[in-house]
């Protein structure tokens, strides 16, 4: 059974950093993509980026601002979201999720992912990030 558990959220001042963790278990070939998402109050859930759990390939949503970095520690079965230079608008609940497929978009020689929340069948409980200005 696929399980994802996020941790690392909290309150931070604007300009600060946080590293979120997503402990992953039970992932199979049919759920090998791990996505990071966030959802602010009153807004739709939006994707940050995707990671292929078996080979560690990382893809970001095309229009992401680049302040966030996804990484993986395979030995710990953990995926990370490092967030730097946080802004008040980054305040949201952050989730990791697993899917068997993601849409990759090629643009300018780079691959970007387009994680659609409804295509991710397994979700963690989320971790709240609050950024004060």
pLDDT tens string 42-73: 999 999 999 998 888 999 998 776 899 999 99
Mean pLDDT of the chain, nearest integer? 93
Residue 40: the pLDDT is 97
pLDDT tens string 26-48: 988 778 899 999 999 999 999 99
Q: CB–CB of 78/36 below 8 Å?
A: no
How far is CA 116 from its chain centroid? 12
Candidates 117, 127, 97, 101; CA nearest to 3 is: 97
Give the whole-angstrom CA distance, residue 110 versus residue 126.
Answer: 29
């Amino acid at each position: 059974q696929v399980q994802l558990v996020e941790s690392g959220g909290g309150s931070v001042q604007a300009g600060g950093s946080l590293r979120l963790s997503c402990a992953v278990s039970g992932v199979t070939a049919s759920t090998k993509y791990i996505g990071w998402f966030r959802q602010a109050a009153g807004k739709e859930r939006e994707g940050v980026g995707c990671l292929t759990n078996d080979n560690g390939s990382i893809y970001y949503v095309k229009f992401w601002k680049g302040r966030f970095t996804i990484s993986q520690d395979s030995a710990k079965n953990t995926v990370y979201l490092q967030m730097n230079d946080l802004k008040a608008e980054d305040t949201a609940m952050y989730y990791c999720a697993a899917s068997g497929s993601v849409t990759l978009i090629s643009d300018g020689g780079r691959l970007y992912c387009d994680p659609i929340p409804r295509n991710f069948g397994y979700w963690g409980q989320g971790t709240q990030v609050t950024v004060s200005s």
